[in-house]
């Protein structure tokens, strides 16, 4: 076990508890297992240094908090914490995109929406706030993050939610690949960390495809629109390859499903002929825009098209992805396990998963000890080391 998880001169700020909402239990269990593993493997070294493991809170089998949000027949709910949280450092984990969960209201079955998950998050915070030492929220998909700016007379839901969480006593909000991280300006005096999965993408890609050649002649990074430019620039610079981008021509005279329809995707960049191209973005919603981009790249004679998105929501199902894979427009789709994925997704030949659980565990472990997380925010060194190993340099 690497010493990066051993904090010899730092005690935890308080005993650690992970309050996982039902929407996030699978991911939370993996995170918990990693933290237990970190601390158990470090126990021997810390004992040798005469550290009191019980005082550190390292002598527990699980850090998961026993909590729930049961509902009445009317559909109303309450947050229940079934053990003491006095003086603890609580990390509440919630996945607001998990539409698989249901509840009954007046005999009807309703699927939980992001609004329902957000209310449950507040309920658990409300049950803990009076006695916990500190409350942190881990919300991989930031609630209402797509509504990050006002273009007309519109509500700014994400900003309001962040302000509300801070007013409830939340000290730190941790999210991943926020649609627009500038939304943190709504809470400038509070903790807000936005982590990127770039290292995990590269790791998953290298494991999945051993034929990749990391140079400008064989690889290129593509931004599907102007909003994803920062992600593409960072990845391209780390890989040492060129970057291209598409911009969307829209029909601003119409509004369909809450947005102006896309007329065409225009490409800016050097030739992609014969190259493996990596399209990187924050999410796949319906996937329409991403698939159109992939098709346009294959029509420009790209050898392979790999899609990397942090959140695979697949709101319109998998049929079109299956069709595009069979036609050769896409070769693989990489997403993380930060959000709910239906079981049938794992049977797709084109699907590759980037596991984020160890990364989250390292973040929680570091914050619980109040140590710097600067390296986690910018994992450039880890990516470079991974590339060197892949190329057989080290």
How is residue 222 written in tokens? 């593509």
> 190: which strand partners?
none
pLDDT at 99: 95
Mean pLDDT on 64-86:
94
The yes-or-no verdict on residue 306 having pLDDT over 80 is yes
Helical spans, DSSP H, in the chain = 25-48, 53-56, 114-128, 157-167, 198-208, 229-239, 288-299, 319-327, 357-368, 374-377, 380-390
**Which region among 67-81, 180-194, 335-349, 367-381 has the lowest average model confidence (pLDDT)?**
367-381
pLDDT at 342: 93
CA distance 134 to 123: 16
Q: Which residues, at least 6 apart from 230, have a Cβ–Cβ distance to it below 8 Å?
A: none
pLDDT at 42: 66
pLDDT digits (tens, 9 = 90+) for 85-142: 999 999 999 999 999 999 988 888 999 999 999 999 999 999 999 999 999 999 999 9
pLDDT at 49: 58
The yes-or-no verdict on residue 2 having pLDDT over 60 is no
DSSP 326-341: HHTS-SEEEEESSS--
Q: How confident is the model at residue 1 (pLDDT cuts 50, 70, 90)?
A: very low
The yes-or-no verdict on residue 155 having pLDDT over 60 is yes
Closest by CA position to 339, among listed 350, 353, 325, 320: 353
Mean pLDDT on 174-198:
94
pLDDT at 39: 83
Mean pLDDT on 219-233:
90
pLDDT digits (tens, 9 = 90+) for 34-44: 999 888 766 66
CA distance 272 to 241: 12
- Contact present, 274 and 255 (Cβ < 8 Å): no
At residue 125, the 3 state secondary structure works out as helix
Mean of per-residue pLDDT scores for the chain? 90
The yes-or-no verdict on residue 227 having pLDDT over 90 is no
């Amino acid at each position: 076990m690497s010493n990066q998880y051993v904090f010899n001169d730092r005690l935890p700020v308080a005993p650690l508890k992970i309050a996982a909402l039902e929407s996030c239990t699978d991911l939370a269990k993996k995170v918990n297992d990693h933290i237990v593993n970190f601390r158990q493997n470090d126990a021997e070294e810390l004992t040798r240094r005469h550290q009191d493991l019980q005082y550190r809170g390292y002598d527990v089998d699980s850090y998961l908090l026993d909590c729930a949000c049961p509902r009445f027949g009317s559909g109303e709910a309450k947050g229940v914490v079934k053990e003491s949280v006095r003086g603890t450092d609580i990390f509440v984990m919630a996945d607001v995109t998990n539409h698989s969960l249901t509840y009954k209201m007046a005999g009807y079955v309703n699927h939980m929406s992001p609004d329902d998950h957000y209310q449950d998050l507040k309920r658990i915070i409300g049950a803990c706030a009076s006695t916990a030492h500190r409350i942190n929220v881990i919300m991989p998909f930031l609630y209402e993050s797509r509504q990050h700016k006002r273009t007309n007379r519109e509500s700014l839901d994400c900003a309001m939610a962040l302000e509300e969480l801070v007013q409830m006593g939340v000290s730190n909000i941790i999210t991943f690949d926020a649609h627009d991280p500038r939304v943190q300006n709504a809470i400038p005096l509070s903790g807000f960390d936005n982590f990127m999965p770039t290292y995990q993408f590269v790791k998953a890609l290298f494991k999945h495809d051993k034929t990749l050649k990391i140079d400008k002649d064989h690889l290129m990074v593509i931004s599907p629109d102007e909003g994803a430019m920062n992600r593409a620039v960072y990845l391209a610079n780390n890989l040492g390859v060129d970057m291209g981008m598409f911009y969307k021509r829209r029909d601003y005279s119409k509004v369909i499903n809450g947005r102006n329809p896309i007329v065409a995707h225009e490409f800016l960049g050097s030739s992609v002929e014969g190259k493996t191209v990596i399209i990187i973005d924050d999410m796949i919603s319906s996937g329409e825009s991403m698939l159109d981009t992939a098709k346009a790249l294959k029509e420009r004679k790209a050898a392979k098209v790999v899609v990397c998105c942090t959140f695979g929501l697949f709101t319109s199902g998998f049929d079109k992805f299956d069709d595009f894979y069979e036609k050769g427009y896409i070769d693989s789709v990489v997403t993380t396990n930060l959000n709910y994925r239906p079981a049938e997704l794992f049977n797709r030949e084109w699907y590759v998963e980037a596991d984020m659980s160890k990364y989250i565990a390292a973040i929680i472990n570091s914050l619980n000890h109040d140590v710097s997380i600067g390296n986690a925010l910018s994992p450039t060194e880890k990516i470079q080391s991974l590339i060197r190993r892949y190329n057989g340099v080290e």
